[in-house]
Amino acid sequence: MRNPIKQALVRRVQVKGRGGKVRYVEEPPSQKLLYGMYFAFAALFTLTLLEAVYMLVVKAFSTEIFSAISLVIGTILGAFFTQKG
């Protein structure tokens, strides 16, 4: 796979075969999850850039933008942890 986000979200499922042999099957993530992750990473990049510009122009730290960055990071981590289950 060339897509690192898609590769990180692949779930390995344990399946019992004939004779009790155990094998692992890779289950790809849904398209909705992938598009949500792309949007979250784009939002994270944009908010980080906005915070940097705000700090350069106003010379102060914006807690509102930082809160939004924290929210997006929590969403991304939550998606990764629940997908890997």
Amino acid at 83: Q
Spatial neighbors of 76 by CB under 8 A, at least 6 apart, are 37, 40, 41, 44
Q: What is the tens place of the pLDDT at every residue in 30-59?
A: 999 999 999 999 999 999 999 999 999 999
β-partners of residue 15 are 23
Helix axes 63-84, 31-58, angle to 10 degrees: 160
- Residue bearing tokens 């992750």: 37
Whole-angstrom distance, CA of residue 55 vs CA of residue 28: 40
pTM, entire model? 0.82
The mean pLDDT of 4-8, rounded to a whole number, is: 89
